[in-house]
Amino acid sequence: MAAKRILLIIGGGIAAYKSIELVRLLRKAGMTVRCVLTRAGEQFVTPLTLAALSENKVYTSLFDLKDEVEMGHIQLSREADLVVVAPATADLLAKMAAGIADDLATTLLLATDKPVLAAPAMNVRMWLHPATQRNVVTLRGDGVTVMEPDEGEMACGEYGPGRLPEPEAIKQAIDDALARAPAAVPLTGQPDFAPANHRPLYGRRLLVTAGPTHEPIDPVRYIANRSSGKQGFAIAAAAAEAGAEVLLVAGPVPLPTPPGVVRIDVETAVEMAAEVEAALPADAAIMVAAVADWRAADTRAKKIKKDGSGHVPPLALAENPDILAGLARSAKRPPLLIGFAAETNDVIDHAQAKLARKGCDWIVANDVSADPMGGETNRVHIVSKDGVDSWDRLPKQAVARKLMEKIADELDKCSPADSD
């Protein structure tokens, strides 16, 4: 098989140094890498470093006539299997969304007919700004794969989403994009009009639950399961990226709403059950939420006081509705119903039992023995009546994308849900 060819556009930003590691990983995987540095990118990494690592010429200027003789910018933009923008700054995303072509990088991005993957990196406020979020929705609508940035401490001292995903995660996203991309045809003077869009869930309606539920005991205390909501949110994001209409019913988690996703926030299992019911019909429901099994039988209107006597107040519990099992029995049961199961031992056996008990089509069993809840990766097994599909440990985003491919394949066997 021919080596995959990556055109890597490196924007300006402190995270640009990570592109060096990315080039190393891509070369190690046997890929050919051509780097393009924006003027701002040149402030952070040097063409010399990138040339040495990529073992290829590094391009920086549109007006370098020598480059035009050796290789025109149209050819440069198309003689790749995938165009990767990392870091994709707010400015680059805005120009891409608006179709501005005022330097080599943006001209290549406008001229290419190949799939484009962008790994954003910017200050948290810039990422959350409505303008950037609008640009991301536009780009995803245009078929660009825009990764979710990582969350954490930023170089500027602020905290939140906006960090460049780690090079391993970008490499994984590149592998996924290449697996989806149509085979590249070398340019022969005839433009290759293979569609860059890969939206296998276009026209489908997906319902996702995510996060924990909080069951109030009194105004300050609640019962809950541990859940970061990250996997559920990544699934909602990947579904929207794949072109689906996505409704996300989310328990209390401080995560931003993924672009293109309609989010309904709930607090309790009873509220979540009602919103799930109201959201139907759907082609598929993916129930990722860690719903609390019990709620307080009577919620106190006032805070229960500790009186110092050592007296422990009784706490009567009532069972919560099992939303997944209820949906499986409902007349509006989605054609594809998927449950999750976090297990620490006998993962497959427990998942098989849960599949039968809940009446769903697949159980995505995640092994939480090696990885605490709230981590960035997941090792999952998809358990269905057809058997067990075990995946390697992957970043949660990659699990979500791979799951979307599997869901799209499955739904292709069904007809779209009625939307009236």
Contacts with ligand C5P, residue ranges (CB under 6 A): 209, 269, 287, 289, 291, 320, 322-324, 339-341
Phi and psi at residue 212, to the nearest 5°: -90, 180
List b or e across 362-376, with b for residues whose CB sees 16 or more CB atoms inside 10 angstroms.
Answer: bbbbbbbeeeeeeeb
Q: Are 60 and 39 in contact (CB under 8 A)?
A: yes
Q: Is 361 annotated as a binding residue?
A: no
The answer to whether 303 is a known ligand-binding residue is: yes
Tell me which residue of 2, 56, 405 sits closest to 184, measured CA to CA: 2
Question: Closest distance between ligand C5P and the C-beta of residue 237, in Å?
Answer: 18
> By C-alpha distance, which of 214, 271, 281 is closest to 247?
281
Measured between alpha carbons, how far is 368 from 138 in angstroms, rounded to an integer? 36
Active-site residue, from 35, 156, 360, 414: 156
CB of 351: closest distance to ligand C5P in angstroms? Answer: 10
Of 108 and 341, the one with the shorter C-beta distance to ligand C5P is 341
Q: How far is the CB of 258 from ligand C5P (least distance, A)?
A: 18
Q: 223-261 as b/e, with b when 16 or more CB fall inside 10 Å?
A: bebebbbbbbbbbbbbbbbbbbbbbbbbbbbebbbbbbb
Question: Whole-angstrom Cα distance, residue 403 to residue 238?
Answer: 9
Least separation in angstroms between CB 339 and ligand C5P:
3
Which stretches does DSSP call E strand in 38-192? 58-59, 82-88, 116-120, 145-146, 150-153, 159-163
| In contact, 384 and 362? CB cutoff 8 Å | yes
Report whether 230 belongs to an annotated binding site: no
To the question of whether residue 193 is assigned a binding role by annotation, the answer is: no
Name the residue nearer to ligand C5P (CB basis): 103 or 283.
283
Q: Collapsing DSSP states into helix, strand and coil, what is residue 10?
A: strand
Report in angstroms how near the CB of residue 30 gets to ligand C5P at its nearest.
Answer: 39
Name the token pair of 86: 């990392």
Measured from the CB atom, the residue of 106 and 209 that comes closer to ligand C5P is: 209
Nearer to ligand C5P, 14 or 253 (CB): 253
> Does the annotation list 323 as a binding residue?
yes
The answer to whether 18 is a known ligand-binding residue is no
Residue 360 catalytic? no
- Least distance in Å: CB of 227 to ligand C5P? 9
Q: Would the annotation count 113 as a binding residue?
A: no
Query: Which amino acid, 127?
Result: W
Nearer to ligand C5P, 174 or 328 (CB): 328
Question: Are 247 and 280 contacting, i.e. CB atoms less than 8 angstroms apart?
Answer: no
CB-wise, 126 or 353, nearer to ligand C5P? 353
Helix, strand, coil abundance in the chain, percent, nearest 5? 35, 25, 40
**Which residues belong to the annotated binding site?**
293, 303, 321-324, 340, 354, 358
**Catalytically annotated residues:** 156
**Which residues belong to the annotated binding site for CTP?**
293, 303, 321-324, 340, 354, 358
